[in-house]
Each structure stands twice: as C-alpha cells, then as structure tokens.
C-alpha cells in the first residue's frame, strides 16, 4: 500500500471507532480481515496512524477547526509527526486510494504556526475535559505538559529476568533490536521504535522464549523494586493478574521464600502459569480464588509484604492505550475507588506486625492514590506511611535523582512520562506497627 492509501485506511478505521464507539483494537482487526491484501507492514503503519490520532485527538481537531476523523488525522500529521503542509497535500492528491485533495480551509489550518495558548487546558493536553479539575489538583499549571507527555508513543521496555540472565547478556542477545539500559531500573532495557516502524516481535525472540526477558514498562519495574522484597520473605501479590510484578518479586527474592499470587478475577490469572514456568520461578504458589472469597484466610497476620497492584482507571497508561482515555467515565472511577478501599482493607488483615503493604496504581488521580492511602490510614491507625525518601533507598545511587524527578508527597510518590520517562505509577509503602 502507498502512504496515501494507508492514510485513507486510517481515516476509515478512525471513523469506525467513532461511529460504533468500539476499542481501536477491534476496529483495526476487522479492517485487516476485510482487507487481506494488506501486509503486516501496512497494518502496522495504519495502526500507528490511528493510535497517534487518538493520542492527539483534541489538539489535532482544534488545529483543524473540526473533529472529523479526516481532520484529526491531518492535524496529527502536522502536530505529532511534523509533516509540513506540502507533504500532507502530496498524500491527499485525490488519486486512486488516496484521500480527497485538501480544501482551502484545511490548507490554511495546516499552514498556521503552533496552536496558540488560548486552547483550553484539556484540549492542549489531550485529555477528557471532566478530568481537568482532578489533574489540576495533582499538577496545577503543569497539567498540560503532563498531558502532552502522555500523548506521545511509549517505547518498548523489557525487564531482564535475573534468574536466567544478567542485563549485559540479555542486551547482547537482543543486539539487533538496539536496546539501551533504562535510566532507573537496573534490570531494564529499552527499545525505541519510529512512527512508521513495526513493533519487533519480542515474544518470538530466543531471549524471551528462554525466559531471559519480560515485557514490562520501566515504571512497573521500579514499582516492584520499591516493594523491596527480600529472599526468604513471605509475600502476597493480592492483585497478581497476569503476573508481571509477581515475576519481578520472585527475581528480587532469588527464588527464596514464598509468594502467594491471587486475584479476585481468576480469569486474569490465566497467563501466569506459563510465564512462571518460562521464567524459571519456583517460589510462587498461585491461589485461584473460590467463589465469594479470596482463599487467603490461612495467611492472616503472616505476610512480610502484601503487594496491592490495585485495579484503577489506568490513566497513567494512556501512552500505550490512547483510546482508553476517551472511554474512561466518572462512573468507572467511582467503582475503582470502592474496589481499592476494599482490597487495601483486606491487605491490612494479611500483613504481620512490622510488615508492610505496598500500594501501587497506574493512575494519575489523587482520588486513587494519595486519597486512598490517607483514607486507609484513618481507618487503620496501627499503620503509617513510609516516607518516599526511605522507600527510594532501594534504588541505591539512583535514589537521589529519582526523588528529584518524581512527584513526592507524604503518602507516596508518582512517576509520570514527563518526569521519569515511564508510564505513570503511584507507589506508597505502608508499614504496620510491630
């Protein structure tokens, strides 16, 4: 397919997403099934156009003066990919499979300089307007800059599984992908891909198949590191899901001690068994919860560490899930807040005196972060928040720079794409009195 034909296809897919209010993955899959002539490179390029358009949906529409799928794609090409008006006009020449020629209004919009500062904050920052107050509470006038950082593509981050390989060995095995060490995680590798490039099939790499690496954002890696799991400890991963942080904890513990991994939604645990086997993890017991319970009553007051990787709105992962930010609603936030309080209260019954709860979300919102921790501490006076400076000590010589980068408060710390180059993760360590 020509670049112009790919642009036409992206406009078609974006129109389907808007008309049917469906996830981008579903619309892209259906388009591919209906256009089997398109190769894998074509499909990847079309998906890149669609996702980049969703990332810049509001600012692109503001630039073009309308919010049609075509306008959003054209505005994105100008704002995000830096194409000049002549290059965009060349794509839209009206030839076979190409978009219609630019209108005079489109030419004028594309020729303007950068959008002025009069755009509302949520437009300039490309996030839903109903979240503006919540983001202002956390970031103040920096919320636009934080939103813009969330509107850029994320790299591919890998965690080196130290049970199977060191970082240098894994980097050498993946040398053809040009990985670089991550700045904060001592076991992280980063692969940067261009806007037109296909994502490399990491799952097919020998290093992945041998369990030497796992795909995991550096922020998630750091959150697991901040839990400071030690060999020999008794650990509960209360919201284990597919097991990403479970695997990281097992590596930190050198396969010594015991991790109990569970999740109230047992369907989310499905991938964990194969991942544990591939990684060579031997100290994890997966507890599939029975109906109406979590199957952990025998562990009350026994855990040195309870990790609560809480269900949340996922606002911190918008770089990777750009359509999700337009589908999040106030009702889903309220539901998540209730779930978080419930799981934190359960964690309080499982941790031993002197033990700790590590509360993690991939959210930007204080309602799900500092407010949850503050509420928990009011309900459970026998617990206290560990100061972020103490929490970060596990990062060694990187601790000081890390603390300078994050947004730290009395209850915990927040990583963001703008501040740390990671997805947004909130981490709070809560210690039970001995």
Question: Which residues make up each annotated binding site?
Answer: 263, 309
How far is Cα 324 from Cα 205, in angstroms, rounded to an integer?
29
The answer to whether 159 and 95 are in contact (CB under 8 A) is no
Q: In whole angstroms, what is the distance from residue 227 CA to residue 392 CA?
A: 10
Q: What is the DSSP letter of 39?
A: -
Q: Give the active site residue among 92, 239, 312, 362.
A: 362
Picking from 78, 54, 50, the residue whose alpha carbon sits closest to that of residue 326 is 54
| Number of Cα atoms under 13 Å in the Cβ half of residue 99 | 23
| Cα gap 320→155, rounded to integer Å | 9
Task: Give CA–CA dist 95/338, Å, rounded.
Answer: 54
Annotated binding site for S-adenosyl-L-methionine: 263, 309
239 a catalytic residue:
no
Residue closest to 230 by CA, chosen among 260, 257, 253, 258: 253
* Beta carbons within 8 Å of 364's beta carbon, 6+ residues apart: 134, 135, 138, 146, 315, 316, 414, 416, 424
Q: Do 307 and 236 form a contact (C-beta atoms < 8 A)?
A: yes
- Write the CA distances from 327 to 24, 118, 243, 367, integer angstroms: 11, 26, 26, 18
The set of catalytic residues is 362
């Amino acid at each position: 397919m020509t670049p112009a034909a790919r642009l036409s296809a992206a406009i078609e897919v974006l129109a389907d997403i808007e008309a049917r209010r469906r996830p981008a993955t579903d619309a892209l899959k259906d388009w591919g099934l209906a256009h089997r002539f398109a190769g894998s490179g074509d499909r990847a390029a079309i998906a890149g156009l669609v996702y980049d358009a969703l990332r810049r949906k509001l600012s692109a529409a503001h630039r073009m003066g309308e919010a049609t799928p075509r306008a959003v794609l054209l505005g994105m090409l100008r704002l995000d990919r830096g194409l000049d008006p002549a290059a965009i006009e060349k794509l839209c020449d009206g030839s076979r499979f190409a978009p219609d020629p630019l209108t005079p209004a489109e030419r004028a919009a594309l020729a303007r300089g950068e959008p002025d500062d009069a755009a509302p904050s949520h437009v300039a920052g490309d996030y839903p307007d109903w979240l503006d107050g919540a983001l202002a509470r956390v970031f103040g006038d920096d919320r636009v800059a934080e939103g813009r950082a969330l509107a850029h593509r994320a790299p591919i981050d890998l965690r080196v599984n130290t049970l199977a390989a060191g970082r240098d060995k894994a980097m050498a095995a993946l040398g053809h992908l040009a990985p670089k060490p991550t700045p904060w995680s001592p076991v992280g590798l980063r692969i940067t891909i261009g806007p037109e490039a296909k994502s490399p099939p990491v799952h097919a790499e020998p290093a992945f198949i041998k369990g030497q690496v796992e795909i995991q954002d550096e922020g998630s890696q750091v959150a697991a590191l901040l839990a400071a799991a030690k060999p020999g400890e008794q650990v509960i991963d209360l919201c284990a899901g597919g097991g990403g942080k479970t695997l990281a904890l097992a590596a930190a513990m050198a396969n010594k001690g015991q991790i109990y991994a569970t999740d109230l939604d047992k369907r989310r645990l499905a991938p964990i068994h194969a991942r544990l086997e591939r990684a060579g993890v031997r100290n994890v017991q997966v507890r599939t919860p029975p109906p109406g319970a979590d199957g952990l009553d025998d562990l009350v007051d026994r855990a040195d560490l309870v990790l609560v990787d809480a269900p949340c709105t996922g606002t911190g992962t918008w770089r990777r899930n750009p359509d999700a930010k337009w589908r999040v609603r106030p009702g889903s936030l309220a539901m998540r807040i209730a779930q978080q309080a419930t799981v934190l209260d359960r964690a309080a019954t499982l941790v031993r005196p002197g033990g700790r709860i590590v509360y993690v979300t991939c959210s930007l919102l204080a309602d799900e972060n500092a407010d949850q921790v503050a509420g928990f501490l009011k309900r459970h006076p026998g617990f206290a928040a560990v100061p972020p400076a103490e929490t970060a000590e596990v990062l060694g010589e990187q601790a000081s720079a890390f603390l300078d980068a994050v947004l730290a408060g009395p209850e915990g710390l927040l990583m963001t794409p703008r501040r740390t180059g990671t997805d947004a993760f909130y981490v709070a360590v809560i210690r039970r009195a001995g």
